């Protein structure tokens, strides 16, 4: 996310702006694809996202913003709406339910099971997170590609074209790295529960 923040500031300083605002672009793309979504521009406190259930697109920029970062986000979120949710996203509550059960198993395992069981538990959950990561990559990369292709139609100058390619690459990189680091953090939560279980069982700390 830091990379995108740096680029956002760079485009604002260099005045890489578009002939449409982020709200106008999102609404035009939604209309073009006959998608019935509300566009909510909430300022920097609201992260950009597409909510399929509420049929709303949230943008973290003011509606009048025309800079590359803002219009790219608008097109990216419409990209999510255009493609629809991926299979794991559709079953996300099931996924997090399985994760909670896994945490409890880790706690119980620390109390009663041998160290080898931890590796088995970790392998099973790592596979589930692996599926979630691949699902997220497809979801994000296809929305990012959609955004790049839509914005390509609006840029004419070489500087803008280069800026668009750079922003596209940064978006792809961020969305490849983020799910991996989040998954690693969630998986390490299992080890914390396992060690806590050991502590409760009187086996000392890990
Ligand atoms: Zn996205």
Q: Note the pLDDT tens digit of each residue in 91-136.
A: 888 999 999 999 999 999 988 888 888 999 999 999 999 999 999 9
As a whole number, the mean pLDDT across the chain is: 90
Rounded to two decimals, what is the model's pTM?
A: 0.86
Please give the distance, rounded to the nearest whole angstrom, from the Cα atom of residue 81 to the centre of ligand 1. 10
pLDDT at 175 over 80: yes
pLDDT at 1: 64
pLDDT per residue as tens digits for the range 65-99: 999 999 999 999 999 999 998 888 888 889 999 99
* Dist. CA 171–CA 150, nearest whole Å: 15
Please give the distance, rounded to the nearest whole angstrom, from the Cα atom of residue 166 to the centre of ligand 1. 17
Q: How confident is residue 43, by pLDDT bands cut at 50, 70 and 90?
A: low
Average pLDDT over residues 154-169: 89
The answer to whether residues 106 and 38 touch, using CB atoms and an 8 Å cutoff, is no
Beta-carbon contacts of 151 under 8 Å, excluding residues fewer than 6 positions away, are 18, 68, 71, 72, 75, 164
Beta-carbon contacts of 101 under 8 Å, excluding residues fewer than 6 positions away, are none
Please give the distance, rounded to the nearest whole angstrom, from the Cα atom of residue 189 to the centre of ligand 1. 25
Please give the distance, rounded to the nearest whole angstrom, from the Cα atom of residue 167 to the centre of ligand 1. 14
pLDDT at 44 over 70: no
pLDDT at 3 over 80: no
Closest by Cα among 122, 141, 147 to 179: 141
Please give the distance, rounded to the nearest whole angstrom, from the Cα atom of residue 19 to the centre of ligand 1. 23
pLDDT at 147: 96
Please give the distance, rounded to the nearest whole angstrom, from the Cα atom of residue 170 to the centre of ligand 1. 13
Q: Which helix (H) or strand (E) holds 50?
A: strand 49-51
The answer to whether residues 35 and 81 touch, using CB atoms and an 8 Å cutoff, is yes
Please give the distance, rounded to the nearest whole angstrom, from the Cα atom of residue 75 to the centre of ligand 1. 10
Q: Residue 174 CA to chain centroid, in angstroms?
A: 9
Please give the distance, rounded to the nearest whole angstrom, from the Cα atom of residue 112 to the centre of ligand 1. 41
Token pair recorded at residue 77: 């979120």
Please give the distance, rounded to the nearest whole angstrom, from the Cα atom of residue 83 to the centre of ligand 1. 11
Please give the distance, rounded to the nearest whole angstrom, from the Cα atom of residue 153 to the centre of ligand 1. 21
Please give the distance, rounded to the nearest whole angstrom, from the Cα atom of residue 43 to the centre of ligand 1. 17
pLDDT at 2: 74
In the structure, ligand 1 is a single-atom ion and the residues with CB under 5 Å from it are 140, 143
Q: How confident is residue 37, by pLDDT bands cut at 50, 70 and 90?
A: very high
pLDDT at 205 over 80: no
Number of Cβ within a 10 Å radius of residue 87: 10
Higher pLDDT, 202 or 68: 68
What DSSP assignment string belongs to 68-92? HHHHHHHHHHHHHHHH---HHHHTH
- Percent of the chain with pLDDT strictly greater than 90: 67
In three-state secondary structure terms, 203 is: coil
């Amino acid at each position: 996310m830091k990379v995108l923040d740096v680029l956002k500031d760079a485009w604002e300083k260099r005045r890489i702006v578009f002939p449409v605002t982020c709200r106008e672009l999102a609404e035009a793309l939604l209309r073009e694809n006959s998608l019935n979504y509300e566009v909510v521009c909430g300022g920097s406190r609201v992260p950009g996202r597409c909510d399929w259930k509420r049929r709303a697109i949230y943008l973290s920029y003011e509606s009048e913003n025309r800079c590359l970062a803002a219009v790219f986000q608008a097109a990216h979120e419409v990209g999510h709406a255009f493609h629809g949710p991926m299979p794991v996203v559709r079953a996300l509550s099931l996924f997090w339910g399985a994760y909670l059960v896994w945490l409890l198993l880790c706690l119980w395992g620390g109390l009663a099971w041998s160290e080898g069981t931890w590796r088995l538990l970790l392998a099973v959950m790592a596979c589930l997170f692996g599926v979630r990561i691949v699902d997220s990559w497809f979801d994000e990369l296809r929305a990012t590609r959609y955004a790049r292709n839509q914005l390509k139609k609006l840029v004419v100058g070489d500087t803008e074209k280069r800026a668009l390619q750079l922003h596209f690459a940064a978006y792809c990189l961020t969305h490849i790295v983020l799910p991996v680091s989040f998954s690693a953090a969630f998986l390490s939560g299992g080890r914390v529960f396992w060690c806590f279980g050991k502590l409760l069982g009187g086996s000392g700390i890990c």
